[in-house]
Amino acid sequence: MSRRRQIYEGKAKILYEGPEPGTIIQYFKDDATAFNAQKKGTIQGKGVINNRISEYVFTRLSHIGIPTHFIKRLNMREQLVRQVEIVPIEVLVRNVAAGSLSKRLGIPEGEPLPHTLIQYCFKDDALGDPLISEEEIACFGWATNEEMQDISSMAIRINDFLSGMFAAVNIRLIDFKLEFGRLWDGDYNRIILADEISPDGCRLWDMTTGEKLDKDRFRRDLGGEEEAYQEVARRLGLLDSDNGPSEVLDLSAHRKLRGK
Ligand code: UDP
């Protein structure tokens, strides 16, 4: 087998050239970073779980008509996706105050927001992904007004769907990050959902206990990050299937998380 060409290595994923033109392979690593990569570490088994969770979420979203880059999962750590031109904007969707919003505006973490808030950050590590306005997006041409319409309406639909999906397994979707890409077809392009959706880019709290089941366990040195990611996968019913990650993961982990 010929060696695949690596296109890009990010903080949590490596991208390789796919088997067909216009395709890419996303390889999910166990590496974790926080605070603009000032904090680095590993979450054992994270890549396997995020690959599986993201496959599940993107597949469910495609069933409600959200166009995504996902084609199929190839193995435990890799998925085949469509090559897109990433829009250089991180889309943050918030239902409950937490993280940078709480810090910036002094709103206590856990306070429900009067309505869902969509915020945009400019994807630039050197600048620390600064918050940007829609006026700035239009002014500097990072996305057209039409593209922003598509992005914001998809973000709201995704939030509604995911809030219900997680609520059904007793998880509160506090906030999350989305990335979109342009899929070119001749001279035209359309916006589709790209990147991943996993506990790396979402805040997920147990609805009963408020326990954090996401990357804040790593960011805030709370411990139990492996178990938290597994617990999310387990609740979504992803750990028990024959071809799921169960073979390599300790199924007793969710009991440890609860101290049982
Ligand atoms: N988020 C992310 N990547 C980023 C910034 C934010 O995945 O580069 C996610 C984060 O996990 C959270 C949501 O977006 O679920 C809102 O992030 P916030 O700005 O509060 O991030 P913080 O600075 O607290 O990590």
Task: Check residues 106 and 255 and name the one with the higher pLDDT.
Answer: 106
Q: Are residues 33 and 70 in the same domain?
A: yes
**134 and 163 fall within a common domain:** yes
pLDDT at residue number 3: 74
32 token code pair: 């974790």
- Structure confidence at residue 245 (pLDDT): 53
Write down the pLDDT at residue 258.
Answer: 47
Q: Give me the domain span that covers residue 65.
A: 6-84+229-248
β partners of residue 70: 81
Q: What is the pLDDT of residues 209-248, one digit of tens each?
A: 999 999 999 999 999 999 999 999 999 999 965 444 554 4
Residue 43 φ/ψ, nearest 5 degrees: -115, 105
Give percent of the chain with pLDDT exceeding 90. 89
Nearest CA to 208 out of 259, 167, 147, 253 is that of 167
Whether 17 is covered by a domain: the verdict is yes
Distance (Å) from CA 54 to ligand 1 centroid: 17
Cα 204 to ligand 1 centre (Å): 12
Q: CB-based burial of residue 35 (10 Å sphere; 0-12 exposed, 13-18 middle, 19+ buried)?
A: exposed
Same structural domain for residues 38 and 93?
no
Determine if residue 188 is left, alpha or beta; phi over 0 gives left, psi from -120 to 50 gives alpha, anything else beta: beta
Same domain, 98 and 182: yes
Does the structure show a pLDDT above 70 at 204? Answer: yes
Checking if the pLDDT of 43 tops 90, the result is: yes
| CATH number where 91 lies | 3.30.470.20
Q: How far is CA 17 from the centre of its chain?
A: 21
- What local confidence, expressed as pLDDT, does residue 114 receive? 98
Q: Whose CA is nearest to atom 11 of ligand 1?
A: 201
30 within some domain: yes
Q: Is residue 22 part of a domain?
A: yes
Tell whether 113 and 145 lie within a shared domain: yes
| pLDDT (average), residues 44-54 | 98
Based on the fold, state whether residues 75 and 119 are members of the same structural domain: no
Question: Are residues 150 and 105 located together in one domain of the fold?
Answer: yes
176 close to ligand 1 (CB < 6 Angstrom): yes
C-beta of residue 245 within 8 angstroms of C-beta of residue 44: no
Q: In terms of C-beta distances under 8 Å and separation of at least 24 residues, what long-range contacts does 211-220 make, across chains too? A: 211/257, 213/171, 215/32, 215/34, 216/99, 218/32, 218/34, 218/39, 218/41, 218/43, 219/34, 219/35, 219/39
pLDDT in tens, 100-155: 999 999 999 999 999 999 999 999 999 999 999 999 999 999 999 999 999 999 99
The CATH number given to whatever domain includes residue 59 is 3.30.200.20
Q: Phi first, then psi: give them for residue 250, nearest 5 degrees.
A: -80, 110
Residue pointed to by tokens 């991180």: 90
* 259 lies in some domain: no
Whether residue 89 sits in one domain with residue 63:
no
- Cβ pair 88, 124 in contact under 8 A: yes
202 plus 149 within the same structural domain: yes
Q: Are residues 11 and 26 in the same domain?
A: yes
For the CA of 203, the nearest atom of ligand 1? 15
Q: Give the type of residue at 59.
A: T
From 100, 104, 127, give the residue whose CB has the most ligand 1 atoms within 8 Å, as the site to mutate: 100
Identify the residue with better confidence: 242 or 167. Answer: 167
Query: Which regions of 77-234 does DSSP assign to beta strands (E)?
Result: 78-82, 85-86, 89-96, 112-122, 131-132, 171-185, 188-194, 202-206
Verify that 139 and 66 share a domain, yes or no: no
**Domain co-membership, 103 together with 198:** yes
